[in-house]
Amino acid sequence: MGKSILTAGAEPTSGALSDLSPLFGDAGLIRAGADLEMGGVPLARIAEKVGTPLYVYHAAVIRERYQALATSFAAIPHKICYAIKANSNLAVLRVLRDLGAGADIVSGGEMRRALKAGFPPERIVFSGVGKTGTELESAVEAGLGHVHLESVAEMEELADIARARGARVGVGIRVNPDVTAKTHPFIATGQGAVKFGVPYDQVVDLAAAIARQPSLELDTIAMHLGSQLLDPAPYRQGLERLLALVDRIAAAGIDTVRYLDIGGGLGIRYRDETALEPALVAAAVIPLLRDRGLTVVLEPGRFLVGSSGVLLTQVLSRKHSGGKDLVIVDAGMNDLVRPSHYGAFHAITELRAQGRPPLRMDVVGPVCETGDFLALDRELPGLERGDLLAVLGAGAYGFVMSSTYNTRPRPAEVIVDAGRWAVVRPRIRDDEIFAAESVEPAWETQG
C-alpha cells in the first residue's frame, strides 16, 4: 500500500528547489525586497490581518490560464467547463463565470454553488459516478445543459424523472476508453477496472437504449483520463476511440451527437515538471476534430486554479528528534491533505526572506497523526517561531479537501485582484464547528 502511493505521477517528497522563479511566475508572485507579493499585495500583510492557516488565490493567474486554453482551441468550436471540484469558492467561480466558462459538477451541492455563482444552467455539465435520485431530480428541475450517464440504471432513473416532469434532457455517455495515462494511481480515471465511465464495449448498446427514451437525447460522448497529466498523447489516443464510437453510433441510426467531451487533467508545475501546455493538447486533437462538425468540450480544473493559490502558515516551534530537525507549523493535513495522501511535493518559501543559512528539515503540522506533514527532508532557510511561510501550488484540491479533524477550523480564503484583496470565506470559530450537534439527542422510540 505504501509503495503504490509513490508510484508514477506522485511528486517526490524530498529535496530542495534552488530556483523558485518558475513557480513564482506561474503564481504571479514576486519578491519585492524581502517581502513576497501577489498582485502587488504583500502576503505577510494579509496573513497578519486575517491569521493563519489561510488560502490566497490570484484572480489574474486564473484569467491568464483560461485565455491560454481558449486561444489554443480557437480554431475549432469549443466550450470550457471549469471542474468545480478543484476549487469551489464562489469568488473563484465568479471570475471564471465572467470569462464565459461553463461549469463541470459532480454533486448536487456543486450544482447549487454553480447556480449561486451565476453560471447559466445550460452551461452546466453534471458528471459523477454516483448521482442520487434527488440530485437527478434537481438537475432536471434546474434545466442543466447536460447530464453525463455512467450506467444503464442511471439512464433509466433519469428517463423516468424527466418523463414525469414533461422534460427532455440532453445527456452524454461517459466512456471508459481504456487508455492508461501516466499519473498517480489515485487520480487515474480512464483505464479499465476503475469505477468511472461505461465500458467501451457497452457504449453503443447504451446509446441505442437512450434513443428509445423520448425524454432523453444523446448529444455528448465524453471521457476523462485522469488528473495531473503531462503528456498529450493519451488525449489523442482517447479521442480516436471516442470518434470511432461516434461513427458506430451514427451507423446505428443515431445522429444527435454534437459534442465530444475530452475532460480535463492538464498537469501543472509543482516542482520541476514540464507543465502540459494547452497548445500541445490542441495540436494533438484538433487535426482529428477539424472536419467532424463537433464541438469539443474541455473540463479543466487544476490547470486553471492550481498555480493561482498559496497556503499561508506560521511556524509554531522547532525541535530535534531522532537525528531530524522538525519545524511545527499551524497548517496540517486537515488543511492540505495532498502531501500525506498522494506523497505530493509543494514548494515552500518564506513570506519575508530572513537570509538565514539553509537547513534540512521536516515541516509538520499540529494534527495528532504521524502522517501529518507538508514536507519531508526538505532544505529550507533556518526557520524560527513566528516566521510566515507560503506553500505554493495550493489553488487546486486544497481547501476543497480540507476537514475539521481534531475540531480545527478550516482555513479562511482570500482573493487578490489588481492590488486589492478580500476575504471571501472567513474562518469560523471552534464552537461553530459543532453548533448543529446535540448534547441531548431528541430520541425517537418504536411504536
Report the CATH number at residue 187. 3.20.20.10
**What confidence tens digit (pLDDT) does each residue in 213-223 have?**
999 999 999 99
Q: Which of 1, 193, 251, 368 is an active site residue?
A: 368
The per-residue DSSP string of 195-235 comes to: SSSEEGGGHHHHHHHHHT-TTEEEEEEE---BSSB--SHHH
The rounded distance, in Å, linking the Cα atoms of 36 and 132 is 45
- 334 and 236 both lie in a single domain: no
Owning domain of residue 272: 128-298
Same domain, 136 and 284: yes
- Give the chain's residues under pLDDT 70: 1-18, 179-196, 447
Residue 123 domain flag? no
The grid coordinates listed for 372 are: 501529518
Same domain membership, residue 234 and residue 287: yes
CA separation for the pair 167, 144 (Å, rounded): 11
Whether residue 391 contacts residue 336, with contact meaning beta carbons closer than 8 Å, is answered with yes
Alpha-carbon distance of 112 to 292, in angstroms, equals 34
The dihedral formed by the CA atoms of 103, 109, 112 and 116, expressed in degrees to the nearest 10 = -80
pLDDT at 12: 45
Alpha helix locations (H) across 11-121? 21-27, 43-50, 59-72, 90-98, 108-116
Q: How many domains does the chain have?
A: 2
Residue 443 lies in a domain: no
363's grid cell: 515541516
pLDDT one-digit tens code per residue, 406-438: 999 999 999 999 999 999 999 999 999 999 999
Residues 230 and 313 in one domain: no
Same domain, yes or no: 294 and 314: no
315 and 291 together in one domain: no
How many CB atoms within 10 Å of residue 173? 27
The answer on 385 and 317 residing in a single domain is: yes
- Asked, for residue 145, whether it belongs to a domain, the answer is yes
Q: What is the pLDDT of residue 322?
A: 86
> 278 and 157 in one domain?
yes
Q: Which residue has the cell 479521442?
A: 239
In the block, which residue shows the cell 487520480? 187
368 is catalytic: yes
Do 422 and 412 contact (CB within 8 A), yes or no? no
Decide which of 298, 325, 359 is a domain's last residue: 298
The reply to whether 315 and 408 lie within a common domain is yes
- Determine the 3-state secondary structure of 263 from DSSP: coil
The verdict on 210 and 357 lying in the same domain is: no
364 beta partners: 328, 373
Please state whether 67 falls in left (phi above 0), alpha (psi between -120 and 50) or beta.
alpha
Q: Is residue 77 part of a domain?
A: no
Number of H-type helices and E-type strands within the chain: 14, 21
> 385 near 316, Cβ under 8 Å?
yes
92 near 103, Cβ under 8 Å?
no
Cβ-based neighbours of 3, under 8 Å, separated by 6 or more: none
Any domain includes 158: yes
Whole-angstrom Cα distance, residue 349 to residue 333? 18
